[in-house]
A and B are shown apart, each in its own frame.
Chain A
Amino acid sequence: MSHTVLVCDDAIFMRTMITDILTQAGFEVVGEAESGVQAVDKYRQLKPDLVTMDIVMPDMGGIEAVREICKTDPDAKILMCSAMGQQALVVEAIQAGAKDFVVKPFQPSRVLEAVQRVLG
């Protein structure tokens, strides 16, 4: 059975691209969220195997969402999607419980590598 994924990003562009990359590699994207609040809700509802999480989003950012999700599920497998120059935020997310990160611009191979590590 293929792994299920929840893609969280406020940009449709990014969601589309990440979904394409993951779908191509055989993952099943079961939900999308465009804010931290939605991410937390959908995580509880869908229980996905993996979450990709943007850092900067409206209505609760990605880091806060990681904290919320990990409160109820410390083993949640969350992959942060960050941009250059956000190192301090990525570190904060890791301390909040994120399991790995990728840096934009995305190379599909890098994204899939990180996904494998997180699921491994």
Chain B
Amino acid sequence: MDLSKYAALFLAESREHLTACNQLLLEWEREPAATRPVGGLFRAIHTIKGMGATMGYAGVADLAHRLENLLDALRQRTVAPDPAVLQLLFRSVDALAASVEGAVVGADSPPDETLTADLDVAAAGAAFETPRRLSAVPDTGEIAGVTAWEGPVRPIQVALHRDAVMRGARAALVVRRAESLGVVSALQPPASQLDNHDFNGRFSFRLASGASEEQVLVALRGAGHVDSIRFEENGTGGAPAGQARQIRVDLGRLDALMKQVGELVVAKNRLGVLVAGSADRELAEVSDRIARLVSGMQAEVLAARMTPVGQVLERFPRVVRDLARDLDKRIRFDAEGDEIELDRSVLDEIGQPLLHLIRNAADHGIEPPDQRVAAGKPEEGRILLSASRERNYVALRLSDDGRGIDRDVILAKARREGLVDGGAETLSDDLLLRVLARPGFSTAEAVSDVSGRGVGVDVVVTRVRALGGTIEVRSELGRGTTFTIRVPLTLAIVRALLASAAGECYAVPLAYVAETVEFDPRSVTAVQDREALLVRDKVIPTVHLRELVRNQPRPAPPRAPTVILEIGDRRAALVVDALMGQQDIVVEPFDAPRGMPPFVGGATILADGSPALILDAAALV
């Protein structure tokens, strides 16, 4: 839905709450024993959190959430806050105010890490254990009175939809509906565990009731987000009761649907631009409605394409086992985060590169058992693949506890081949990857002789980049190597920040934008002969988009908007002429024409119908 029309309201109301917060804090400081301030503070921050999340301002919501946690802990305990905590609260309210102001002008950014760490520590310190329990239903066994019941006592198994939010509360609704029909007992998992984060939405109970199966089905389904209901004991098989809620769809159809929705998004954006220039209110309303419908449709189609990464990970244990046997090694493979979801098209593309890296790890990383024992390591080597969600992308980390990469040897070879200049003394992790990823560098014997890798790493890097992803390597000699691949959740439609330079418009995927700041000549410094910008004590190398696209140096403008790009812990400050807001862009398949500079990752059509190039953040940081 189009949220821009709510932005002004969000800002006005947030400011009011923040002003109130400051007054409440002052009041609390004067009268530490008072209980009114903390309640008021909690409500105000809670409201800002809800509004911020609704507007999609993740930074605002995150900071407010942490602050709320601390306030919640404080209001549950009876002792007065100490001055350090009050100081922290003042600081947080200031930061939140800045975050709110930034968010509405398109510069939502994650909260300062020191501040969030302080808040988390303080909240943990103040936490006062008052666990709330889900339900009065006894955890196990029969309830008094049920023995007198003559009618059927049915075992019931319920599975909630995979995408149901707050599963514990949803389960409570189901149980409550069951209770309206009769007596519920033997709830499994016990009520006290339903609100755990890892509750998977499957639970069972017994229902003593005279209602028919049909009535029970209708009543329980009415709780919403129920995937299946079975009338059978836990652990037995059988078909789900009620009608099937899933059908199989040919992947090609989903792709075609996605493509159509992509076109629709472009058309919707154009309509929005046309309507903005018209005074027809009715037309504006219809356009708004279409925008909302298309956004909803886009979200639904994307959701339909999301697939757990487990589908790809599940074949790796077998691959590693076979490799280990062929290589006469002992290797244990573990996968974590198989429930993390990715767009089907990304998932299909990522399997091959991962397999490549796993082969390398088994072949070149993990040492033979005798060598491992000699090096004081367990005989069995370990390879761990973990998936986790980070903002708008998914990180896949592949670690081994093998021998690591011998930089000296790689460096010597790189020098011989003229890949680095003769004076270079060490190889940073970044440089190491660049060297490994050179197509000419990937000769198997040369690299495996020196106990490193490099076999086909160029292929992996190319595939990952083509997905709009990034890859990093960290390696320690004798300790092991970790590759981190980050890929966007979906390929088809991404939210991007639009920026202009030298009269052209460029799109920067928002997944890699940490924040936007102003380029201020007074904050300019230098790292290793490169111009850099000092942003809150962090030195970030600058890239002037104008210089990049025109390929000619020009004096830096006195002041200019600057986009801070962030991939993992690498950053760059991209200085542009102007920022032009955010937009959902449809990424067009892009075969880079010859001569296309490496920082261009794709192309798109903007709302006004003009084409724009998509910047590849990975090539800039």
Contact = CB atoms under 8 A, between A and B. Distances in A.
A84 interface: yes
A24 B42 CA distance: 32
B455 to A, nearest CB: 44
Contacts of A107: 1, 296, 299
Contacts of B13: 11-13
Nearest to B51: A13
A108 B1 contact: yes
B53 interface: yes
B520 interface: no
Interface centre among A13, A88, A94, A104 (most CB of B within 10 A): A13
A10 interface: yes
B6 A11 contact: no
B393 interface: no
Contacts of A114: 224
A113 interface: yes
Contact of A56 (B1, B46, B296, B299): B46
A24 B43 CA distance: 29
Contacts, number: 100
A104 B53 contact: yes
B132 interface: yes
Nearest to A114: B224
Contacts of A58: 40, 43
A91 B168 contact: yes
Contact of B6 (A17, A24, A101): A17
A47 to B, nearest CB: 22
Nearest to A21: B1
A84 B53 contact: yes
B168 A108 contact: no
Contacts of B166: 82, 84, 87, 90, 101, 103
Given A100-B224, A113-B224, A117-B222, A12 B9 contact: yes
Interface in B344-364: none
Nearest to A98: B173
B474 interface: no
Given A94-B169, A108-B292, A11 B195 contact: no
Interface string A69-107: 000000000000011110111111011000011011111
A67 to B, nearest CB: 15
B47 to A, nearest CB: 5
Interface residues of B, number: 38
Given A16-B6, A107-B296, A108-B296, A95 B50 contact: no
A16 B289 CA distance: 16
A20 to B, nearest CB: 9
Interface residues of A, number: 36
Interface string A13-35: 11011000000100000000000
Contacts of A66: none
Interface in B275-317: 289, 292, 296, 299-300
Contact of B132 (A91, A100, A120): A91
B287 to A, nearest CB: 14
Contact of A90 (B6, B10, B40, B169): B169
Given A10-B43, A100-B173, A83 B165 contact: no
A14 B43 CA distance: 14
Interface in B224-239: 224
A45 interface: no
A39 B333 CA distance: 57
Nearest to A104: B50
A62 B176 CA distance: 19
Given A88-B195, A113-B224, A56 B132 contact: no
B416 to A, nearest CB: 55
A95 to B, nearest CB: 7
A57 interface: yes
B76 interface: no
Nearest to A97: B176
Interface in B116-161: 132, 134-136
Contacts of B56: 105
Nearest to A61: B43
A16 B135 contact: no
A11 B289 contact: no
Nearest to A10: B47
Nearest to B285: A24
Nearest to B195: A87
A97 to B, nearest CB: 9
Interface of B: 1, 6, 9-10, 13, 40, 42-43, 46-47, 49-51, 53-56, 65, 132, 134-136, 165-166, 168-169, 172-173, 176, 195, 222-224, 289, 292, 296, 299-300
29 contacts: A11-B47, A11-B51, A13-B6, A13-B13, A14-B54, A16-B9, A24-B289, A56-B43, A56-B46, A56-B47, A58-B43, A83-B46, A83-B50, A83-B53, A88-B134, A88-B195, A89-B132, A90-B166, A91-B132, A91-B168, A92-B132, A94-B176, A100-B173, A101-B169, A101-B173, A103-B165, A104-B50, A105-B56, A117-B223
Given A10-B43, A11-B13, A94-B176, 18 more contacts: A10-B47, A11-B47, A12-B13, A14-B51, A14-B54, A88-B195, A91-B135, A91-B168, A91-B169, A92-B132, A94-B169, A95-B136, A95-B172, A100-B173, A105-B56, A107-B296, A117-B223, A117-B224
3 tightest Cβ-Cβ pairs between the two chains A and B:
A88-B132, A90-B169, A105-B54
